[in-house]
Amino acid sequence: EHVHPASIAAAPIVVASNRGPVSYRRGEDGTLVAGRGGGGLVSGLSSIQRDAEGGAAVWVCAALGEGDREAARAAGRRLATADTGGHHVRMLDIPPDTFAAAYNGIANSVLWFVHHMLYQTPLEPTFDREFRARWAAYEEYNAAFADAVAEEAAQGAAVLVQDYHLALVPGLLRARRPDLRIGHFSHTPWAPPDYFRMLPDDVAGQLLRGVLGGDRAGFLTRRWAEAFAACCADVLGAEVVRDGEGRADGVRFEGRTTRLGVHGLGADGDFLRERAHRADVEERMAALRSQIGPGRRAIVRVDRTELSKNIVRGLYAYRRLLEEHPQWRERVVHVAFAYPSRQDLAVYRDYTAEVERVARGINAEFGTEGWEPVALHVKDDFARSLAAYRLADVALVNPIRDGMNLVAKEVPVVSDHGCALVLSREAGAAAELGDEAITVNPYDVEATARALHLALLMDPGERAERTKRLAAAATALPPARWFTDQLRAL
Ligand code: G6P
């Protein structure tokens, strides 16, 4: 039995995600400073703060560091301030060791690696005793979320559980509160069965059963939904329910059916266009223009420094472009923004160092007196990202695997004079933007270099036309609608 304290209204909508809409750190003067979390998930869900329907929602998330823990303790059970957009946020103060083992040790080092197929399989993964200890922490962390949601949710409430961090929550929650309507949404790809089966059998089974504990399981593209269904059939022997066109529409397991939904999160056009024309963005455009130099083209990329984003091969492709087509030397600059991410993990720190090393190498090899071929920026700056989007001639989005990729959708929306998009066919966004982009196999550096060359040569009229069509496709399902569609479906 779960009792709701009378002073706190039970919520008709509960969102659960590892990273919440706000995060706190200690400022230089000792006070707590609020900042906005990063990543596609936060862009998507922050829209509920502006949504009337979201007014009664509670967002359950983890305290990510000491700043969050302090803010959460000071607030009591829920935070509801200007920092959270007036929204009710419940930040879970999970013991730091448990949190680190679950977030770094399982979610980001195992589940992220499996779904993005990032392992170098002759060497890793190895599932040993330490792995088992981390897995126990992941279970504990998921149980803490399930407990908190069970406490916050009103009778029959809709619960939207986000991402691979919380794969066990739907199942745990159903056991606690069978009255709830539960949806899980994956913002990542889903691994195909042959790769997913690398996980220990019991762990693979637990993850799938966890998601199947919900009424609905949502994915960014059809491809990831099909992979999930295939894993359920392969690992659990579950029955895949198909629609008239043969598409996986549900998974039937142990007498219940979980419906599959495909919701391709789009860019928030209104917000981006307004934000991209403020003074701070204009200032950064001026600075970038002077760094690029007059008359030069800009090949822009903006990413977290994330293994799946394939930044190093992107730099190799740019180097090939300069080698193979010397006419671009001194006439193009690769503006590469690689923002810090998951720096607690050694493999991310090494990758960051490699990105910097390769960029320096290109500058040393090709740079001249007045021309720096790669302008690498590693300090996160959203206004500068928007400035780069606006002036880009070519956008390079070449992940080896990506749930969706919102950069590919944001660039065409704010582009000033049209921008050619070089897009990995392994990004979820390729399903929606593939016709107007130049698509590439992200492992094929030669092909990517050729694509960059074609993108630079694209006729300005055609480029502008394609950008218009890209922007229309990119904003087809803005975050607010993406969210309400799922609520309605639940
Ligand atoms: C991806 C995930 C999100 C995550 C974001 C940033 O978009 O789908 O769940 O929040 O990356 O990663 P981080 O580890 O910093 O939360």
State the distance from the centre of ligand 1 to the C-alpha of 163, rounded, in angstroms: 9
Q: Which helix (H) or strand (E) holds 462?
A: helix 460-474
pLDDT of residue 37: 57
Least Cα distance to 366 among 416, 409, 404, 325 occurs for 325
Taking the centre of ligand 1 as the mean of its atom positions, its distance from the CA of residue 79, in whole angstroms, is 22
| Cα–ligand 1 centroid distance for 136 (angstroms) | 22
> In 3D, which of 199, 231, 194 has the Cα closest to residue 212?
231
Q: Do residues 168 and 210 lie in contact, with contact meaning Cβ atoms separated by under 8 Å?
A: yes
* Angle of CA points 267, 451, 453, to nearest 5°: 115
User: Residue with the nearest Cα to atom 8 of ligand 1?
Assistant: 187
| Cβ atoms 222, 249 nearer than 8 A | no
**pLDDT 10s digits, 179-231:** 999 999 999 999 999 999 999 999 999 999 999 999 999 999 999 999 999 99
pLDDT beneath 70, residues of the chain: 1-7, 37-55, 84-86
Helix axis angle, 169-176 to 201-212, nearest 10°: 60
What's residue 47's pLDDT? 58
Which residue, by CA, sits nearest to atom 14 of ligand 1?
342
Residues with CB under 6 A from ligand 1: 19, 38-41, 108, 163, 187-188, 341-342
Write the single-letter amino acid at 379: K
**How many C-alpha atoms does 252 have within 13 Å on its Cβ side?**
5
Beta-bridge partner residues of 424: 440
* Residue among 116, 163, 224 to mutate when testing ligand 1 (max atoms within 8 A of CB): 163
Q: How far is the CA of 461 from the centre of ligand 1 (A)?
A: 37
Q: How far does residue 18's CA lie from ligand 1's centre (Å)?
A: 8
CB of 61 within 8 A of CB of 90?
yes
Candidates 155, 149, 152, 151; CA nearest to 169 is 149
Task: Quickly list DSSP for 19-40.
Answer: S-S-EEEE-TTSSEEEE---SH
Q: How far apart are CA 377 and CA 301, in angstroms?
A: 10
Rounded CA-CA distance 179/373 in Å is 59
How far is 317 from 405, CA to CA, in rounded Å? 20
The amino acid occupying position 302 is: V
Atom number in ligand 1 closest to CA 165: 9
* CA–CA gap between residue 54 and residue 88 (Å, rounded): 10
Strands 32-35, 23-26: parallel, antiparallel or unpaired by DSSP?
A: antiparallel
For ligand 1, atom 4, name the residue with the nearest CA: 39
CA 290 from centre of chain: 31
CA 375 to chain CA centroid, nearest Å: 24
Residue 90 CA, ligand 1 centroid: distance in Å: 18
List the residue whose alpha carbon is closest to atom 12 of ligand 1.
39
How confident is the model at residue 313, as a pLDDT?
98
Which atom of ligand 1 is the closest one to the Cα of 17?
Answer: 9
Task: Take residue 372 and report the two structure tokens written for it.
Answer: 């720096």
| H helix intervals, 79-231 | 96-100, 112-115, 129-152, 169-176, 193-196, 201-212, 222-231
Residue matched to tokens 């193009």: 332
C-alpha of 442 from chain center: 18
CA distance 484 to 55: 13
Between CA 302 and CA 392 the distance in angstroms is: 11
In angstroms, what is the span from residue 401 Cα to ligand 1's centroid?
A: 14
Work out which ligand 1 atom sits closest to the CA atom of 188. 8
Q: Which residues lie closer than 8 Å to 12 by C-beta, 6 or more apart?
A: 56, 57, 154, 157, 158
The distance of Cα 23 from the centroid of its chain, to the nearest Å, equals: 17
Q: Which atom of ligand 1 is nearest to the CA of 187?
A: 8
pLDDT of residue 35: 82
Q: Which atom of ligand 1 is nearest to the CA of 403?
A: 8
* Atom 1 of ligand 1, residue of closest alpha carbon: 39
Which one-letter amino acid corresponds to residue 321? L
Residue 343 and residue 378: Cα distance in Å, rounded? 13
Comparing C-alpha atoms, which of 430, 431, 437, 429 is closest to residue 469? 437
Q: What is the separation of C-alpha 472 from the centre of its chain, rounded to a whole number of angstroms?
A: 21
Q: Do β-strands 256-262 and 248-253 pair in parallel, antiparallel, or remain unpaired?
A: antiparallel
Q: In what side-by-side order are the strands of the sheet with 256-262?
A: 88-92, 57-62, 11-16, 153-162, 181-186, 216-219, 256-262, 248-253, 239-242
Give distance in angstroms: CA of 304 to centre of ligand 1: 10
Span from the CA of 369 to the centroid of ligand 1 (angstroms)? 40
* pLDDT at position 483: 87
Contacts of 355 (CB under 8 A, 6+ apart): 305, 311, 312, 315, 336, 338, 376
Using most ligand atoms within 8 A of CB, pick from 161, 165, 187, 409 the residue to mutate for ligand 1: 187
Q: Which atom of ligand 1 is nearest to the CA of 108?
A: 14
For the CA atoms of 146, 152, 157, 160, what is the dihedral angle to 10 degrees? -50
Q: What is the pLDDT of residue 4?
A: 40
Q: Are 358 and 312 in contact (CB under 8 A)?
A: yes
Closest protein CA for atom 11 of ligand 1 = 39
The model's pTM is 0.95
- The ipTM of this complex is 0.98
